[in-house]
Amino acid sequence: MKNLKQLLSRIDGKGYKAYKDIRGRYRFERFHLVVDYVQGDPFASPSKIRCLIPEHETIIGRQWLETPERKETLEDHIARMVAKAIDRSGKHAGGTGKSGLIAIDRPGQEVLKRTAVLVENGKVTVCLSVGLPARGRKVLGRQAEKLFFQQIPEILRLSVFSLNRQMIQAAVKLRDQQLAVRRYMKQHDLVAFVGDGAILPRESGISDRPLPNQEAVPFETPESLRVEIPVPHRSAPVSGMAVKRGITLIVGGGYHGKSTLLEAIERGVYDHIEGDGREFVLTDAAACKIRAEDGRKVTQVDISPFIKNLPFGKDTERFTTENASGSTSQAANIVEALEAGASALLIDEDTSATNFMIRDSRMQALVAKDKEPITPFIDKVKQLHEDYEVSTILVMGGSGDYFDVADTVVMMDQYRPFDVTEKARAVAQSRRSERRQEGGERFGRITERIPLPVSLNSKKGKKEKVTARGLKRIQYGTKDIELEQVEQLVDASQTRAIGEILHDLEKRNRLGGKSVKQLLDEIEEQIERHGLASFTPFAEQHPGELARPRIFEIAAALNRMRTLQVKSQGNG
Ligand code: ADP
Ligand code: MG
């Protein structure tokens, strides 16, 4: 501690580069401070420090470390407390560029595995970014002293050193309950569960917080679809709507809450925090949102289950394009999700290509099948379930033809769901659809692809460059990976992690012999065994600001790379 003080007063007023001298480890009264990385100038990305807090300085109980999920919840909670303490500690003193900034990788509405806070054997590591203070390019030693000796200890005092048992207990209990519901779902073949009282709508299109209570209609399960799931830490079971495996249709008038329900289900692959409104909206973690995404790159994807005989004989078994159409992009999105092991598809008519979803009898009569390359999803959705056990939840207000294939039909009416399965069956009986089934009896095979090493090139000039640009873009070498339409990517730190993972695949030369699925399985296993930080070059130091992505979002990034090249079955 004294060393750091002396160092700071010595470099006061010197050029910014003098800060490099403070790298190292220092013993403070209640914690150790490690300066891992010092920024090059006041405008550069901030410096990285860690605070290591010994076990005896915290109140962390063994019971909170009993399961991986509990540990994750505890770490998440501490990160939130540190973020709150940073907010409370007020505005930092002035200076040039990022001078005085203190930040932690801040969790959003989900509880994700992240590297900002790590708890190991009761020992807590908090990773922070700080802007080392300067005026112009001169070190402000006094200011830096204040940052290290007052602000950071104060932030820790308000967070790690004053953890609240009840709050941690509550977070851990909720997580246990969410886990219990997920287990029940597996045992009872549910794809999704929407708890009674859930608040599904969000505050606004740009906010992930719940719509305030007085404006939101809480979810109310129709009697026939209700299940009650016993959970720990409370006597009453959690009740709500069971969405069974198979084909579920969400119908209803415009603006009655169909898309809002599906969006909540999409996000249900993650666990949400207390107060989010979606605590008990839980979805099979391998469920994938599918949408049309025209303009995306597609690389040798076998979309022939859906599309055959394109004009000019274009190959659809190894379909490649720099600029997919609505229907071809949606087909590719489905096949890629299946390749990565999706268990369910989540589809909204709002973001689908109409000609991919339906083709009614009149259109069949006018445009002969041999002139229409597309076999619409309606003819494939059952086969997907029968051949591959992949379920579908589909928002479809526009075509009753789907009544013929649905196992369950839920109608949204003024934000309330009704079970209209029987009614829909009766309608389907009395008004027979004239359309003919297209595209054969089987779904068709899902072809494996093997990404080639040339796909990944992080070189930009002489340096390597892999950077997440916000939530929906990764700069990889000289090219950008565009993730705008990848809707289940929810946290910019997941995006960062995907960048690191791809970069790691490149540097360790892991492409070439393995299929996409094999690569994803390996990545998953590495995360489980060695943690997310194992993908960064500085794992031993500040592990960075990473949150765990699902394998489907990792696959999505790989699949959208303009540089991706693959070898697929049958082309040598
Ligand atoms: P649809 O897909 O049926 O056309 P949306 O799901 O887009 O309808 O919902 C329309 C609007 O209603 C949105 O602004 C949404 O935020 C709001 N909304 C949805 N569900 C609820 C609810 N349970 N309570 C209050 N408002 C809701
Ligand atoms: Mg809608």
Ligand nearest to the CA of 200: 1
Residue 400 is classified by DSSP as G
Tell which atom from ligand 1 comes closest to the C-alpha of 252: 3
**CA atoms in the 13 A half-sphere facing the CB of 410:** 30
CA distance 82 to 301: 45
Residue nearest to atom 23 of ligand 1 (CA): 217
Residue nearest to atom 26 of ligand 1 (CA): 216
Residue 182 is classified by DSSP as H
Tell which atom from ligand 1 comes closest to the C-alpha of 219: 23
Residue 415 is classified by DSSP as T
Single-letter code of the amino acid located at 227: V
Neighbours of 49 (CB within 10 A): 25
Which residues sit with their C-beta closer than 6 Å to ligand 1? 200-201, 211, 215-217, 252, 254-260, 412, 415
Looking at residue 568, what is its pLDDT?
Answer: 84
Give distance in angstroms: CA of 218 to centre of ligand 1: 12
Pick from 147, 139, 134: which is nearest to 98 by CA?
134
Give distance in angstroms: CA of 289 to centre of ligand 2: 14
Looking at residue 539, what is its pLDDT?
Answer: 57
Copy the structure tokens of residue 491. Answer: 């946290």
Residue nearest to atom 5 of ligand 1 (CA): 257
Q: What are the contacts of 566-570 at 24+ separation with CB within 8 A? A: 566/299, 566/300, 566/449, 566/450, 566/451, 566/452, 566/455, 566/516, 567/449, 567/450, 567/452, 568/300, 568/302, 568/318, 568/447, 568/448, 568/449, 568/450, 569/447, 569/448, 569/449, 570/447
Looking at residue 572, what is its pLDDT?
Answer: 38
DSSP strand E in 39-91: where? 47-53
Contact by Cβ (8 Å): 104, 82: yes
Contacts of 387 (CB under 8 A, 6+ apart): 442, 443
Residue nearest to atom 19 of ligand 1 (CA): 257
> Which pTM does this prediction carry?
0.96
Looking at residue 571, what is its pLDDT?
Answer: 44
Tell which atom from ligand 1 comes closest to the C-alpha of 395: 2
Contacts of 172 (CB under 8 A, 6+ apart): 63, 64, 70, 73, 74
Residue nearest to atom 6 of ligand 1 (CA): 257
Candidate of 221, 241, 250, 260 to mutate for ligand 1, largest count of ligand atoms within 8 Å of Cβ = 260
Cα-based angle 402, 405, 410 (whole degrees, multiple of 5): 65
Neighbours of 345 (CB within 10 A): 23
Looking at residue 369, what is its pLDDT?
Answer: 83
Looking at residue 570, what is its pLDDT?
Answer: 54
Residue 114 is classified by DSSP as B
Ligand nearest to the CA of 349: 2
Looking at residue 224, what is its pLDDT?
Answer: 98
State in Å, rounded, how far the first CA of the chain is from the last one. 62
Give distance in angstroms: CA of 554 to centre of ligand 2: 27
Give distance in angstroms: CA of 414 to centre of ligand 1: 8
Parts of the chain with a pLDDT under 70? 91-93, 538-540, 569-572
CA distance 486 to 19: 40
Ligand nearest to the CA of 263: 1
Contact by Cβ (8 Å): 488, 557: no
Pairing of strands 32-37, 47-53: antiparallel
Give distance in angstroms: CA of 254 to centre of ligand 2: 7
DSSP strand E in 270-382: where? 271-272, 281-283, 287-290, 298-301, 319-321, 344-348
Copy the structure tokens of residue 222. Answer: 């129709």
Give distance in angstroms: CA of 255 to centre of ligand 1: 6
3-class DSSP state for residue 411?
strand
Torsion on CA atoms 37, 43, 45, 50, rounded to nearest 10: 40
Strand partners, 24: 35
Tell which atom from ligand 1 comes closest to the C-alpha of 199: 23
Tell which atom from ligand 1 comes closest to the C-alpha of 415: 23
Looking at residue 540, what is its pLDDT?
Answer: 63
Cβ burial, residue 110 (10 Å; 0-12/13-18/19+): buried
Tell which atom from ligand 1 comes closest to the C-alpha of 262: 6
Q: What are the contacts of 395-398 at 24+ separation with CB within 8 A? A: 395/250, 395/251, 395/258, 395/259, 395/261, 395/262, 395/347, 395/348, 395/349, 395/350, 396/249, 396/250, 396/251, 396/349, 396/357, 397/251, 397/252, 397/253, 397/254, 397/258, 397/349, 398/349, 398/354, 398/358
Tell which atom from ligand 1 comes closest to the C-alpha of 348: 2
Element housing 193 (H / E): strand 190-195
Element housing 475 (H / E): strand 473-476
Copy the structure tokens of residue 557. Answer: 């990034």
Residue 513 is classified by DSSP as S
Give distance in angstroms: CA of 216 to centre of ligand 1: 9
Give distance in angstroms: CA of 264 to centre of ligand 1: 11
Cα-based angle 278, 279, 284 (whole degrees, multiple of 5): 85
DSSP result, 224-255: GGEEEE--TT-SSPEEEEEEESSEEEEEE-TT
Distances in whole angstroms, Cα of residue 401 to Cα of each of 244, 421, 534: 21, 14, 50
CA distance 493 to 106: 9
Give distance in angstroms: CA of 256 to centre of ligand 2: 8
3-class DSSP state for residue 109?
coil
3-class DSSP state for residue 209?
strand
Single-letter code of the amino acid located at 474: I
Contact by Cβ (8 Å): 39, 29: no
Letter string b/e over residues 200-222, b meaning 16 or more CB atoms within 10 A of that residue's CB = bbbeeeeebebbeeeebeebbbe
Length of the chain: 572
